[in-house]
Structure 1
Amino acid sequence: MADVTQILSQIEQGDPSAAEELLPLVYEELRNLAAAKLAHEKPGQTLQATALVHEAYLRLTGRNTNECWENRRHFFAAASTAMQWILVEAARRKLRLKRGGDRKRVELEDIAIPLNKSPERLLSLDEALERLALQLPEAAEVVRLRYFVGLSIEEAADVLGVSRATAYRHWTFAKAWLQSELDK
């Protein structure tokens, strides 16, 4: 197996097959580097370590790069910098208004639909649930099974004969929809 420095030299000389030889040699180290970079990011990061490695690798070895690396250490320093740029670009994209940058993330599990508050609140929930049933009966049924019967989402999926993913999707939508209706 060739040395990383030799392969880097071949890439610099324009050998197209050299980039294919390089990845298997450096992949694990790049993946560890990416995981370390992502560990310092806020929770909820949508970028995975594997995707970060692939993007950085493409930037480093792509056709339009005129980079030349002196040795293995220089290559990994360049990879670290490329990963940093990718993370900064991702953060900038998230903050754009077009992407909802002015909105705050709310975990749907934190939103509670109160049942034991008051009779008025329970009646409001029932009315909202009826309106939801007119638009999306499956979602309303998931809510009924969860709140009034006490089933888990998985159990509700089994009862309704749908996949767990579908039941979760209905549950997530219904919780948000009902919360907005009850807040009116």
Structure 2
Amino acid sequence: MSFPEPTDPGLPAGLPAHGQLDALYADAYRELRRLARARLHGGGRNTVLDTTALVHESYLRLARHSEIAFEDKLRFMVYAGRVMRSVIIDLVRERQAERRGGDVAHVTLTTQLGEHLPGDAGEAEILRVHDALEELAKLDPRMAQVVELRYFAGMTEPEIAQALGITDRTVRRDWQQARLFLAEALR
């Protein structure tokens, strides 16, 4: 499948074709934008990315691994949700490193100007959630997958159950336990 014309709000233009990935991406583009909008909602003016940038950056990362074959759209959405999470986390870390000066020598300010600069609480929260999710994955990988699929891939309980090969009831139980764990970890 080839990319749509630049006037079409579909795939990013000017990139090499990747067969199955292009077809799945084109089919899921609106869902991916909805998912990206939901992931970025609440970021206010300090948002790391906009919806289109997140979806397109996710495509670029997926295209780097074009050897990956997806059984169906559901499996593609699972993987795309993980890639979106990765994109957000990487950009937040990059911005925080830039704020700390990157490779520049650190100098302590003697004025109170720093107290009035806008904070990066939203980005810090994203990293805290990511770290808590990584900790949960060490304790119970399936539970972490449920959270990832529900939050980052925007999947419903039946879709998660189908993707992981478990029952809806197990998904609900894992979701409840994971929420408790994450709430405690984020205190």
TM-score, normalised to structure 1, is 0.42
- Which structure has the highest helix share of the two? 1
State the structure with more CA Rg: 1
Query: With CA pairs under 8 Å and 6+ residues apart, which has the higher RCO, 1 or 2?
Result: 2
TM-score, normalised to structure 2, is 0.41
